[in-house]
Amino acid sequence: MPKIVDHDALRADLARRAIPVFQEHGYHGIGMRKIADALGVPKSSLYHYFPTKQDLFLACTEVLEIGPGDPDPDPVTALTRLIARLEESFEGELRLMVDYIGTRAREEIAVDPAMRRYRERLDAALAGTVGADRAPQARILLYGILLERWLAGETGGLDRLRPRIEAVLAAGRDPG
């Protein structure tokens, strides 16, 4: 009897497993052959699901688990928890993003499908965490906190940032 394969599940699994490979090696620093080797699959199998490295990278943005922060009625606590969770992989994601966009113009980056999808998923996670009306401010705050903590070599609790997070979220709705 032939083996029944759930192709959608296998495709998603390959993309999910490729995320740390991209984070470790960058977009331009690895080819499909080495990705297949790292995933323990034949190159032909990888190409069956992803005809190009760009297709695989876009699929990675589809399966990347951002999700809303831990449920909490307090948006400040929820956002703080989301920032803490995203901080765990921030260095790898930042390096990957910079490598991926390279020297492209802002206009190109703005319409890049992978970058657009990542931002849409992040915005959805933020809307689920702090509400859609505060998601734009929360995104800017999240980027700023993650980048500042990374550049300063900070680790550990985010409790001292609570007043800043409260102030930004209390500032009201996004003006547009």
Report the greatest alpha carbon distance in the chain: 63
Pair 114, 100: CB distance under 8 Å = yes
Lowest average pLDDT, out of 2-11, 86-95, 158-167, goes to 2-11
Give the Cα separation of 60 and 23 in Å (integer).
11
Domain boundaries, the chain: 7-63, 75-170
> What pTM was estimated for this model as a whole?
0.80
Model confidence pLDDT, tens digit, residues 19-39: 999 999 999 999 999 999 999
Pair 22, 57: CB distance under 8 Å = yes
pLDDT score of 51 more than 80 = yes
Q: Which residue from 158, 169, 171 is spatially nearest to 76, judged by alpha carbons?
A: 169
Q: Which CATH superfamily is domain 7-63 in?
A: Homeodomain-like (1.10.10.60)
Q: Which residue from 25, 150, 130, 133 is spatially nearest to 86, judged by alpha carbons?
A: 150
Backbone angles phi, psi at 90, to 5 degrees: -60, -45
Pair 50, 63: CB distance under 8 Å = no
Model confidence pLDDT, tens digit, residues 91-139: 888 888 899 998 899 999 999 999 999 888 898 889 888 888 888 889 9
pLDDT value at residue 144:
92
pLDDT value at residue 128:
87
